[in-house]
Structure 1
Amino acid sequence: MRESNGNENEKDLGVHFLEVCRRKEKETEMEEDDQMEESPSELNTINSSGGFVVVSTDKLSVKYTSINLHGHDVGVIQANKPAPTKRLVYYFEIHVKDAGVKGQIAIGFTSETFKMRRQPGWEANSCGYHGDDGLLYRGHGKGEPFGPTYTSGDIVGAGINYASHEFLFTKNGQVVGTVYKDIKGPLFPTIAVHSQNEEVHVNFGQKPFSFDLKEFEAQERMKQQMKIEEISVPPTISYRIVRSYLLHYGYEDTLNSFDAASRSTVPPIHIAQEENVIHEQEISYTLNHRRTLRQLIRDGEIDVAFDKLREWYPQIFKGNTSATCFLLHCQKFIELVRVGALEEAVKYGRKELSNFFGLPLFEDLVQDCVALLAYERPLESSVGYLLKDSQREIVADTVNAMILSTNMKGSTVCLHSNLERLLRQLTACCLERRSLSGEQGEAFELQRVLNSCRRG
């Protein structure tokens, strides 16, 4: 394999950040799709043993109106949607309005093909907690000791803990117990009534639960965090990882403060001078220049950034049609729109962005930039992502990587710091683990983890 030359390396870096810019809007859309995952909202009156029960008009209450003559005269009804899977825990509750003649009420989960004349737990691919005997049934007619019985006035809940792969059941706000979830595929919240006048109301989250679900989720996350904290990491390792991140992105002032703080710890953190010296010398390259340029771009001072770059690193602007140049010109156009200088933005677009018209690599972003002019409130539009601070950071990261590439071999080294490589590996591992769980459970979202740490 022949070695890539500098121009190819520059092209790879610039194109990478161009793709990052394009992905920004798509990632937002994907996050919104995950948040919009459909949840059960009512009872399914079509797929039920309707001959034995009457469902209220709001489809949230069910009453057994027949006389129980034999074991198959069960009034079973599922929710209208399966339990959502892209979360830590799914949970619902029932309020036992009337335990009826025998109190043979059950709550649990069943598969889509479940026989709607049987109690949840009496058939394969189902699990149910029964009120008359307090037993748990898992796929056959023989129950196992589990919890207390429940009757009129009780509130009973059922949930799926995707983190621990368990079903959980509650009574009057307290956890009764958990059991391993060995059923695959979509599972529907299910309730059953089995004797005259038994009546229950279902709460799919349209009102507050008796059980403190948020506190339970917080405890589950704390368990995960405690497992992580049990892993011993020498202070020098974490110090070097954070320090390399600050070096990589040119955060000179923060780096100096970080070094000063590490020397004042008890005991002080020392790193042997011979460790990673070559890499640190490379990544320390032009630290002051990179800090200055990052701040200029963050402040929207694109003209000044252009001047500094042409003075310090003229090689980056060879041909003036690279992806790096394009992103800088786009950012200048965006900054003009941001301050309302639309006429000047049009002139600038005709002069600079026109050089990139018709080139497939740049077409999408050119169109998005120009589209900013069409909106009275562009920040609220579909292309409003361009006006966010994150767009400035992408351009600053591009310039930072291009400068590093003038002194470091390998575009991968320039693109990501050691910390980011670790996070990428962590994300990949979490995705693989989720894949092995049938794509069930929370996806790893770094921003959510960071936010929870701040709240903690």
Structure 2
Amino acid sequence: MVNNQEPKGDSDCLVLSHLGMGQRTEEIEMEDEEEIPTHLNPINSSGGFHVVSTDKLSVQYTSNQLHGHDVGVVQANCPAPVRKLVYYFEIFVKNAGQKGQIAIGFTTEHFKMRRQPGWEANSYGYHGDDGLLYRGPGKGESFGPTFTSGDTVGGGINYGSQEFFFTKNGKLVGRVYKDVKGPLFPTIAVHSQNEEVNVNFGQQPFVFDVEVFVLEERRKQQMIIDKISLPLNVSHWIVRSYLLHYGYQDTLNSFDTASKNTLPPIPLVQENGFNEQGELYALSHRKILRQLIRSGDIDSAFAKLREWYHKLVKDDTSTICFLLHCQKFIELVRVDHLEAAVKYARVELAKFFGVMNLTCLLQDCIALLAYEEPQKSPVGYLLEMAQREVVADAVNTMVLSTNPHLNDSQNCLHSYLEKLLRQLTACCLERRALNGDQGEAFHLHKVLHSDKPGRL
């Protein structure tokens, strides 16, 4: 019989909230896919004043310049991507032509396509004939050297500092503040007979080492962070609260022993809002439960919960029981006891067929039976240690929720460290919103691996 019901009670909501279970219990970090410029767009250009090559990666001025608006200008096929720290592209000046009036820059979708980039509002251009930077109506401003035949010139956007930057022959020329928030198209312009440039959107290695540039920008950001002063040893108490919250008692004892000679006085803890009383609740019980679940001994974990916290598992159709039953099923599959796993599923997991919010995890569990090598399957994540930790964290949360002195059940969902990370994420998103939703999103995994070269 199908049980078309939603999880019942505050305890179920608490577990689901803690796990973030909507489609799966596993946490998947999805990056937004963006289209990136790959070639020039001959349709969105100035028409008869230039010729774009068949591969759409070079442009030549073929007209005789008669007027200032006879510019051969062409944009990339799409705007520069915005969900990253830096975007960059280059041009190679194959022929400077009669006057070398070549420009590289960024323009908006509605830019007048018979004008040089930088000659209209909301556009920026670095010009080869005079080395000036143009950013809207008016005269250009002193910026860098001129460029001509044989030179490679690049243009980029640093979304972290909200700046445009330009390069010549592998060296940084200069930067300028970016006050345009909307989508911007990489743009090239030629303006005298026989001028010809090739464009590189990344299909070939850049002359300018943009990866080193990105690493340097990240280093600058880290230096700013490092200069922020924190109360003495505050990081020690954040780590300690994390170990307390999740019941890592043995690690906590070792941590305290190793740092006993450097501990700040207790008033510092109170001064900074740390209160260990709630985190100390049932610490030894939570430690044992975590160890049992991490070792895959779900039967013993159930037994201890029935002995110590009978109300948590009294309803065998609760979400916490569901997670434990799923883990028991997973452990049977892990040791290749497939017949026992099927029997267990028919008795215990069948109760949850049709229960909203649990369907995806239940389907993934059952799907383990369909693969000869489930570890290598799309649902193989269930056999990893991380899944045991998910269940252990949920049980830990439920035990903390039984604390009679707990004023708000939401307080047991996250440690101080996680609350700080949530606040950091919110601040990063707010800053990104102020920049027109441009720039990198905050991903903890990326921060922890920031010593490795990032993708552009």
TM-score normalized by the length of structure 2: 0.91
Cα drift, residue 411 of structure 1: 1.7
Report 1:46-445 matches (<5 A): 46-265=43-262, 268-272=263-267, 275=270, 279-407=275-403, 408-409=405-406, 410-445=408-443
Contact 1:104–1:193 (CA<8 Å) still a contact in 2? yes
Worse-matched range after superposition: 340-349 or 77-86: 340-349
Worse-matched range after superposition: 170-179 or 59-68: 59-68
Q: Secondary structure at the match of 2:449?
A: helix
For residue 364 of structure 2, what is the amino acid of its counterpart?
A: D
For residue 350 of structure 1, what is the amino acid of its counterpart?
A: R
| CA separation of 1:197 and 1:273: change in aligned 2, threshold 3 A | closer
Give structure 1 stretches of 5+ with no counterpart.
1-6
Please give the alpha-carbon distance, in whole angstroms, between the structure 2 residues aligned to 1:273 and 1:167: 44
Please give the alpha-carbon distance, in whole angstroms, between the structure 1 residues aligned to 2:218 and 2:318: 45
Contact 1:98–1:200 (CA<8 Å) still a contact in 2? yes
| CA separation of 1:340 and 1:57: change in aligned 2, threshold 3 A | farther
Please give the alpha-carbon distance, in whole angstroms, between the structure 2 residues aligned to 1:271 and 1:455: 41
| Overall identity of the aligned pairs, in % | 67
| CA separation of 1:122 and 1:10: change in aligned 2, threshold 3 A | same
Deviations 1:73-98 (A, max 9, x none): 21111100100000011111111111
Worse-matched range after superposition: 283-292 or 373-382: 373-382
Deviations 1:406-453 (A, max 9, x none): 225122221111111111111111111111111100011111111226
For residue 309 of structure 1, what is the amino acid of its counterpart?
A: L
Please give the alpha-carbon distance, in whole angstroms, between the structure 1 residues aligned to 2:373 and 2:286: 33
Ranked by relative contact order (alpha carbons within 8 Å, sequence separation 6 or more), the top structure is: 2
Please give the alpha-carbon distance, in whole angstroms, between the structure 2 residues aligned to 1:453 and 1:394: 28
Please give the alpha-carbon distance, in whole angstroms, between the structure 2 residues aligned to 1:18 and 1:362: 12
Please give the alpha-carbon distance, in whole angstroms, between the structure 1 residues aligned to 2:35 and 2:184: 13
For residue 209 of structure 2, what is the amino acid of its counterpart?
A: D
Contact 1:21–1:394 (CA<8 Å) still a contact in 2? no
Deviations 1:178-210 (A, max 9, x none): 111112311000001111221111111112211
Please give the alpha-carbon distance, in whole angstroms, between the structure 2 residues aligned to 1:90 and 1:221: 14
Deviations 1:313-355 (A, max 9, x none): 2221112111100111111112223333332221111010011
Worse-matched range after superposition: 37-46 or 445-454: 445-454
2:23 maps to: 22
Please give the alpha-carbon distance, in whole angstroms, between the structure 2 residues aligned to 1:264 and 1:124: 62
Please give the alpha-carbon distance, in whole angstroms, between the structure 1 residues aligned to 2:219 and 2:144: 26
RMSD of aligned residue pairs (Cα, Å):
2.4
Contact 1:18–1:323 (CA<8 Å) still a contact in 2? no
Contact 1:263–1:269 (CA<8 Å) still a contact in 2? no
Q: Secondary structure at the match of 2:90?
A: strand
Q: Secondary structure at the match of 1:140?
A: coil
Q: Secondary structure at the match of 2:98?
A: coil
Please give the alpha-carbon distance, in whole angstroms, between the structure 1 residues aligned to 2:51 and 2:27: 46
Cα drift, residue 110 of structure 1: 0.5
Please give the alpha-carbon distance, in whole angstroms, between the structure 2 residues aligned to 1:51 and 1:141: 26
Q: Secondary structure at the match of 1:160?
A: strand
Contact 1:61–1:202 (CA<8 Å) still a contact in 2? yes
Deviations 1:364-399 (A, max 9, x none): 332232233234444455444433433222111111
Please give the alpha-carbon distance, in whole angstroms, between the structure 2 residues aligned to 1:388 and 1:250: 21
Please give the alpha-carbon distance, in whole angstroms, between the structure 2 residues aligned to 1:99 and 1:334: 68
Please give the alpha-carbon distance, in whole angstroms, between the structure 1 residues aligned to 2:55 and 2:334: 49
Please give the alpha-carbon distance, in whole angstroms, between the structure 1 residues aligned to 2:425 and 2:274: 29
Worse-matched range after superposition: 227-236 or 243-252: 227-236
| CA separation of 1:393 and 1:423: change in aligned 2, threshold 3 A | same
Contact 2:46–2:74 (CA<8 Å) still a contact in 1? yes
1:452 maps to: 450
TM-score normalized by the length of structure 1: 0.91
Please give the alpha-carbon distance, in whole angstroms, between the structure 2 residues aligned to 1:77 and 1:367: 51
Cα drift, residue 298 of structure 1: 2.3
Please give the alpha-carbon distance, in whole angstroms, between the structure 1 residues aligned to 2:121 and 2:172: 25
| CA separation of 1:371 and 1:113: change in aligned 2, threshold 3 A | same
Q: Secondary structure at the match of 2:21?
A: helix
Q: How many pairs are equivalent?
A: 444
Q: Secondary structure at the match of 2:161?
A: coil
| CA separation of 1:54 and 1:340: change in aligned 2, threshold 3 A | farther
For residue 66 of structure 1, what is the amino acid of its counterpart?
A: S
For residue 367 of structure 1, what is the amino acid of its counterpart?
A: Q
Please give the alpha-carbon distance, in whole angstroms, between the structure 2 residues aligned to 1:375 and 1:332: 18
Worse-matched range after superposition: 360-369 or 36-45: 360-369
